[in-house]
Amino acid sequence: MSRFFSARRRTLKPYVPGEQPRDMKYVKLNTNESPFPPSEKAVKEACKAAESLELYSDPECTLLVKKLSEVYGVNRDEILFTNGSDEILNFAFAAFCDEENYAVFPDITYGFYPVFAEMNNVPYAEIPLKDDLTIDVSDYISVNKTVFIANPNAPTGIALGLDEIESIVKSNPDNAVIIDEAYVDFGAESAAGLIHKYKNLLVTQTFSKSRSMAGARLGFGLADKELIADLNTVKYSTNPYNVNKMTMAAGIGALSDEEYTRINIETVKENRAFTAAELKKLGFEMTDSSANFIFAKHPAVDGEKLYLLLKKRGVLIRHFTLDRIKDYNRITIGTKEQMQILIKNIKEILDTEV
């Protein structure tokens, strides 16, 4: 740390993203990316857009907003696009939290939430998950704070039902409730349809997972137009050109190819069922995941040890050191072939190395 680092930032512990190693080619199952390439339409549109990079991107994302409003059946002023959904989540902490309306979220959830809270100088409280790693909905009923819930939750993959989400939104009318639906396409019910009913609901989604565009950085929020206006105030005070031209064009391409997205989602779900069944045969226990990953532990092998042994064999999964979940690993669902390699390596490890 230099002596110039602001006193305000000295205690900040930054988010630690999953490894993106360049040393060798891994079977990469550690950051919940899609194993499939983006839609050809997305690639084509992005290439075309690259030809006019001398001009700034459209800060209003006009054409992309128009396309999403048609596909999702929402009004244009109920949409905000951002640089990944990380950015809209950060904006939400900046826009809707303060000393009184501080942030609340589960103790085990997306690791960026506490960092966003710190970065925006807002207090937060972490509400423990139940012993079975599910969210106790009653903890959030009339909590009267700014609620952040990932649905499905990460890294557990466990989803709440739409009725449960609605009860949380409904019981906190004086606070914004943010539902982070990064993984919703893989098995949970979206709360997007509720934005016309509740003025305090912000639903965030991403193109990083089901639309295979993690590297493009495209996320968005859906909410009542007044919440979107608040988020725009933060956006225009930060980075008006937050979505670059190629990404914007790729987004339009991807939204023109929803059938491709649907097929990939179905394949991921099939591969998830296959992987879960194989892991169970090997003695693993796991949460009931509605996401593009499995969260599993084995009684005979320590979570970190399994992660390290697999890494040595060229298979990368994600281990978290947090005490309550250190026995587990989070395994992204890849292609069938990738999952077969994973299972084969785990079998060998269980047979010979533990």
CA-to-CA distance for 158 and 295, rounded, in angstroms? Answer: 9
- Helix, strand or coil for residue 286? strand
Among 154, 160, 222, 228, binds ligand PMP (CB under 6 A): 154
Rounded Cα distance, 222 and 77, in Å: 9
- What is the signed CA dihedral for 87, 89, 91, 95, rounded to 10 degrees? 180
- CA–CA dist 330, 261 (Å, integer): 23
Binding of ligand PMP by 184 (CB under 6 A): no
Q: How far is the CB of 51 from ligand PMP (least distance, A)?
A: 26
Considering only the stretches 169-177, 206-214, 336-344, 345-353, report the one whose residues sit in contact with ligand PMP under the rule CB under 6 A. Answer: 206-214
User: What's the DSSP call for residue 118?
Assistant: H
**Per rule CB under 6 A, is residue 185 in the interface with ligand PMP?**
no
46 vs 346, beta carbon nearer ligand PMP: 46
Q: Choose between 17 and 283: whose C-beta lies nearer to ligand PMP.
A: 17
Distant-in-sequence, close-in-space partners of 273: CB < 8 Å, separation ≥ 6: none
Contact criterion met (CB below 8 Å) for 351 and 311: no
Is residue 289 at the binding interface for ligand PMP, with CB under 6 A as the rule?
no
**Cβ 130 to ligand PMP shortest distance, Å:** 19
Binding-site member from 219, 221, 251, 334 for ligand PMP (CB under 6 A): 219
Instruction: Draw the binding track, 44-83, toward ligand PMP (x: CB under 6 A; -: no contact).
Output: ----------------------------------------
Q: How far is the CB of 17 from ligand PMP (least distance, A)?
A: 9
Using an 8 Å Cβ cutoff, are 89 and 221 in contact?
A: no
118 binds ligand PMP (CB under 6 A): no
At its nearest, how many Å lie between ligand PMP and the CB of residue 261? 15
For residue 84, state whether it binds ligand PMP (rule: CB under 6 A): yes
Q: Please report, to the nearest 10 degrees, the dihedral formed by the alpha carbons of residues 191, 72, 38, 202 taken in order.
A: -40
CA distance linking residue 354 with residue 348, whole number of Å: 10
Kindly state whether residue 86 participates in binding ligand PMP, applying the rule CB under 6 A: yes
How are beta strands 79-82 and 219-223 bridged, if at all?
Answer: antiparallel
- Quick one: which H or E segment has residue 80? strand 79-82
Nearer to ligand PMP, 175 or 247 (CB): 247
Q: Nearer to ligand PMP by C-beta: 178 or 346?
A: 178
Q: With CA atoms as reference, report the closest residue to 202 among 183, 220, 185.
A: 220
Phi and psi (nearest 5°) for 84? 75, 165
Residue 251 interacts with ligand PMP (CB under 6 A): yes or no: no
Nearer residue to ligand PMP within complex by CB, 298 or 328 = 328
Q: Does 116 bind ligand PMP (CB under 6 A)?
A: no
Query: For residues 152 and 287, is the Cβ–Cβ distance under 8 A?
Result: no
345 binds ligand PMP (CB under 6 A): no
Count interface residues toward ligand PMP (CB under 6 A).
13
Task: Select 219 or 253, whichever has its Cβ closest to ligand PMP.
Answer: 219
Does 261 help bind ligand PMP (rule: CB under 6 A)? no
Q: Is 85 in the site for ligand PMP (CB under 6 A)?
A: yes
Site for ligand PMP in 3-32 (CB under 6 A): 32
Please give the Cα distance from 65 to 77 (Å, whole number). Answer: 9
- What is the distance between the alpha carbons of residues 54 and 340, in angstroms, rounded to a whole number? 46
Summarize as ranges the residues that interact with ligand PMP (CB under 6 A).
32, 84-86, 110, 150, 154, 180, 182, 206, 208, 214, 219
